[in-house]
Amino acid sequence: MASSTLRLDGGRRKDLEHAARILRSGGLVAFPTETVYGLGARGLDPAAVARIFEAKGRPGDNPIILHVTNFDAARPLWNIENKDSDAILERCEKLAKRFWPGPLTIVNYKSSLVPDITTGNLDKAGVRAPDHPVARELIQLVGEPLAAPSANISGRVSPTTAEHVLQTLDGRIDAIVDGGECRLGIESTVVDVTKKTAVLLRPGALSEIDIRSLCGSLTIHGDAAASESRAASPGLRHKHYSPLIAKIRLAGASVIHQFWKSDAAILLRKSTFEQFNKTIGARNAITEVLPDDAPEFARLLYSALYRMENARPNIAILETPPETTDGTWRAIRDRLERAAS
Ligand code: TXA
Ligand code: MG
């Protein structure tokens, strides 16, 4: 295991070349994507992928997403010889042409190029083309797909800055490429395209409305409430997105009202904050106020959770998100429910 983690600058060509050399020799490098920071390794090299599982403390049955630059690079990773392959491949191509590079992970039957360890022994591989110049440049320089889960110790909150990455992985990985704050701040949407109807395995930065507009229909499997039955994506059964706080509760306005003058940390939307701030008065305890707009809320959420965690409150109350699937609210609800579970 790496004992000191090299800091590299995503804005410098020499640093990217250095990062690519480390990756090519089987090392672990965290790098920025438009969603969250990923922990990269050569995705088709079982020994390199094994180091990801070790550094993260990740359960072996949790599959890792392969990162490529475009559809042509994804195609050989999928098995296109099975019987429904033409229709499936056509769906993959349509989705990739419309949403790549971008926050969509496409799950399809894997080819023999992809080692079992990468997919957690599943017969399917998740692939996406990230929309971030540093990620794209690195994949290009390494010249092969990069396996990259979120760059955090397993179970913890995904990182949206280099500082977040170092908070849990410093000394456990070879290097980190700093590319500033992630533009979207919430993970990619994961869709399985092998069924008659496409299946949403994890809600994420790409809204299901966009996917439906292209696939016609979409089966929803992404709700935390449905997690028991989600054998399709074993990773979603594991504890996830969880800040290190003794007690975390998801609650509506009446509970927030009750805790307003307590020392509980509270994370809430701006409109709710303003209402109570006016009627009850200012708080002394930790208060994280996030925008009412879903994509903006998503972008800032993980930084707020890291700040909360670092403030070490005994209890944190997270405001229940709106019951809508608009924007990225379903994805936000999913993450907050897991954080509090
Ligand atoms: O935005 C993202 O997706 C980020 C960036 C770095 O690309 N990556 C990320 O990876 O969030 P990770 O490993 O933290 O989460 C990937 C999720 C897991 O819940 C995993 O179970 C699911 O995607 N997944 C990956 N490959 C899969 C597959 N073959 N079948 C089913 N689910 C899969
Ligand atoms: Mg993760």
Does pLDDT of 226 surpass 50?
no
Q: What residues have CB less than 8 Å from 113, skipping those under 6 apart? A: 44, 76, 77
The answer, yes or no, to whether any atom of ligand 1 lies below 6 A from the CB of 325, is no
105 alpha carbon, closest ligand: 1
- Determine the Cα angle at 179 with ends 236 and 95, to 5°: 50
Length of the chain: 341
192 alpha carbon, closest ligand: 1
How far, in Å, from the CA of 274 to the mean position of ligand 2?
Answer: 33
Q: Which residue owns the Cα nearest ligand 1 atom 15?
A: 149
Lookup: tokens for 75: 């195609």
pLDDT of residue 296: 97
Does pLDDT of 223 surpass 70?
no
How far, in Å, from the CA of 255 to the mean position of ligand 1?
Answer: 33
pLDDT of residue 137: 98
pLDDT of residue 196: 87
249 - beta bridge partners?
317
158 alpha carbon, closest ligand: 2
Does pLDDT of 225 surpass 60?
no
The answer, yes or no, to whether any atom of ligand 1 lies below 6 A from the CB of 119, is yes
- Closest to 290 in 3D by CA, of 301, 302, 274: 301
The answer, yes or no, to whether any atom of ligand 1 lies below 6 A from the CB of 38, is yes
The answer, yes or no, to whether any atom of ligand 1 lies below 6 A from the CB of 150, is yes
- Model-level pTM greater than 0.85? yes
Strand-strand pairing, 29-31 and 175-178 = parallel
Q: What residues have CB less than 8 Å from 56, skipping those under 6 apart? A: 39, 149, 152, 153, 154, 169
Does pLDDT of 336 surpass 70?
yes
- According to DSSP, residue 78 is labeled B
Q: How far apart are CA 111 and CA 298, in angstroms?
A: 34
Query: According to the per-residue pLDDT averaged within each range, which of 1-10, 76-85, 167-176 is highest?
Result: 167-176
- The residue with greater pLDDT, 225 or 254, is 254
Does pLDDT of 295 surpass 70?
yes
pLDDT of residue 83: 60
pLDDT of residue 228: 41
| Cβ atoms 141, 20 nearer than 8 A | yes
The answer, yes or no, to whether any atom of ligand 1 lies below 6 A from the CB of 235, is yes
What are the angstrom distances between the C-alpha of 53 and each of 26, 31, 239? 14, 17, 15
Q: Which of 56, 65, 107, 111 to mutate to test the pocket of ligand 1 (most atoms within 8 A of CB)?
A: 65
Does pLDDT of 233 surpass 70?
no
What is the rounded average pLDDT of the residues 286-310?
Answer: 97
pLDDT of residue 47: 98
How far, in Å, from the CA of 70 to the mean position of ligand 2?
Answer: 22
Does pLDDT of 82 surpass 70?
no
Does pLDDT of 338 surpass 50?
yes
123 alpha carbon, closest ligand: 1
pLDDT of residue 332: 97
Q: Which of 58, 187, 189 to mutate to test the pocket of ligand 1 (most atoms within 8 A of CB)?
A: 187
Q: How far apart are CA 16 and CA 9, in angstroms?
A: 8
pLDDT of residue 341: 84
% of the chain beyond a pLDDT of 70: 92
- Furthest CA-CA distance within the chain: 65
pLDDT of residue 1: 53
Out of 66-70, 96-100, 210-214, 266-270, least confident range: 210-214
- Closest to 259 in 3D by CA, of 331, 317, 185, 192: 317
Q: What is the pLDDT of residues 105-138, one digit of tens each?
A: 999 999 999 999 999 999 999 999 999 999 999 9
Q: How far apart are CA 268 and CA 317, in angstroms?
A: 8
Ligand 1 atom nearest the C-alpha of 128 is 7
Does pLDDT of 230 surpass 60?
no
- Closest to 201 in 3D by CA, of 104, 278, 120, 297: 104
Q: What is the rounded average pLDDT for all residues in the chain?
A: 92
pLDDT of residue 242: 74
Q: What is the pLDDT of residues 240-265, one digit of tens each?
A: 667 788 899 999 999 999 999 999 99
The answer, yes or no, to whether any atom of ligand 1 lies below 6 A from the CB of 35, is yes
Ligand 1 atom nearest the C-alpha of 236 is 19
- Determine the Cα angle at 117 with ends 86 and 47, to 5°: 125
Q: Which helix (H) or strand (E) holds 177?
A: strand 175-178
pLDDT of residue 98: 97
131 alpha carbon, closest ligand: 1
Ligand 1 atom nearest the C-alpha of 38 is 6
The answer, yes or no, to whether any atom of ligand 1 lies below 6 A from the CB of 178, is no
Token pair 């307003």 is at which residue? 260
Does pLDDT of 237 surpass 70?
no
Q: Which residue owns the Cα nearest ligand 1 atom 17?
A: 235
Residue 13 binned pLDDT confidence (cut-offs 50, 70, 90)? very high
Does pLDDT of 227 surpass 60?
no
| Cβ atoms 144, 24 nearer than 8 A | no
The answer, yes or no, to whether any atom of ligand 1 lies below 6 A from the CB of 33, is yes
